């Protein structure tokens, strides 16, 4: 009897939703893998926009100060939603799951790997926040290795006052839209950019940005981990990506396997075939039985 192939659980990043994976999902499924996605709590279908976003004429001052309707969403809620999806995927794949997180989704997949390491064949960060124990996403974003990031220029209002890190996916001037494209979608076609931007939600709850990473060598460190570096990234700059890999490797005591794409922050739109090829290679060459997770670079 053939052994089922590993299932992929794909976790989107900040301000995005499960449509992130629309171009990648069919490429993985075509090779016989089950693929599970979700809208995290506070994202996609699970979010509520500030009322001021829909008011016309648009009032930027009101939008910048209105309290976030999803300010109460916690990192724990997001972690548990993905744990449940991993358990569902495990029932389809003889318990073999490859967990992938993009950008801020890296915080969630780290927490999941700490909770259920026995269910994971590998964990994969796509330009993700793979943050050392005790640090938060916000603390990492403020690190000097992230100093060239363009994405903070998109933030609207006082995050502490409104309860969320807010961007404006609605009415905005040309300069703001250009910055949005440069930050997340620099090498994406204009048509794909328009579709992706239309899917964005405004608020990322502070619970996710401020929650400290809680990873240990015994649990998180027991799962083979991969990092897909995006060399032209202006949201999570390459220097920041490489810093996170080195910092986690130094504290966890095992080596992250790195892969490289010459892409912006969104290769799932600009290079879905190349991205899927890396993910399929990870699935085909699981390192779960190899101590030390020897480094392999792919270009």
What residue spans define the domains of the chain? 7-284
Mean pLDDT over 90-98 rounds to 88
CA angle 81, 131, 122 (to 5 degrees): 60
**Residue % of the chain over a pLDDT of 70:** 95
Angle between helices 174-184 and 190-199 (to 10 degrees): 100
Decide: 61 and 90 in contact? Cβ < 8 Å: no
**Paired tokens of 121:** 């064949």
The string of pLDDT tens digits covering residues 15-56 is 999 999 999 999 999 999 999 999 999 999 999 999 999 999
Choose among 30, 277, 267, 67: nearest CA to 166: 67
Q: What is the mean pLDDT of the chain?
A: 94
Mean pLDDT over 172-180 rounds to 94
**pLDDT at residue 3, as a whole number:** 58
The string of pLDDT tens digits covering residues 77-86 is 999 999 999 9
The CATH superfamily assigned to 7-284 is Alpha/Beta hydrolase fold, catalytic domain (3.40.50.1820)
Across-strand partners of 7?
Answer: 97
The string of pLDDT tens digits covering residues 121-139 is 999 999 999 999 999 999 9
**pTM (predicted TM-score):** 0.94
* 294 pLDDT higher than 90: no
**Paired tokens of 220:** 């998180």
């Amino acid at each position: 009897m053939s052994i089922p192939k590993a299932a992929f659980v794909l976790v989107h990043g900040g301000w995005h939703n499960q449509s992130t994976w629309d171009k990648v999902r069919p490429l993985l499924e075509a090779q016989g893998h089950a693929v599970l996605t979700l809208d995290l709590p506070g994202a996609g279908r699970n979010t509520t926009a500030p009322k001021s976003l829909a008011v016309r004429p648009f009032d930027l001052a009101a939008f910048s100060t209105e309290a976030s309707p999803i300010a109460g969403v916690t990192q724990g809620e997001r972690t548990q939603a993905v744990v449940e999806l991993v358990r569902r995927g495990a029932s389809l794949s003889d318990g073999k799951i490859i967990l992938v997180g993009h950008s801020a989704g890296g915080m969630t997949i780290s927490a999941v790997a700490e909770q259920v390491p026995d269910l994971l064949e590998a964990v994969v960060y796509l330009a993700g926040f793979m943050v050392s124990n005790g640090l938060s996403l916000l603390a990492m974003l403020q690190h000097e290795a992230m100093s060239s990031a363009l994405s903070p220029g998109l933030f609207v209002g006082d995050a502490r006052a409104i309860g969320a890190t807010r961007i404006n996916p609605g009415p905005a001037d040309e300069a703001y839209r250009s910055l949005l494209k440069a930050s997340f979608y620099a090498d994406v076609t204009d048509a794909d950019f328009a579709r992706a931007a239309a899917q964005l939600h405004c608020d990322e709850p502070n619970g996710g940005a401020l929650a400290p990473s809680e990873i240990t060598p015994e649990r998180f460190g027991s799962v083979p981990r991969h990092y897909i570096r995006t060399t032209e990234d202006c949201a999570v700059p390459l220097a920041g990506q490489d810093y996170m890999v080195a910092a986690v490797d130094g504290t966890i005591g095992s080596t992250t396997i790195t892969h490289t794409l010459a892409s912006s922050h969104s290769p799932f739109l600009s290079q879905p075939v190349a991205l899927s090829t890396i993910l399929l290679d990870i699935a085909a060459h699981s390192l779960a039985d190899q101590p030390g997770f020897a480094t392999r670079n792919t270009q």
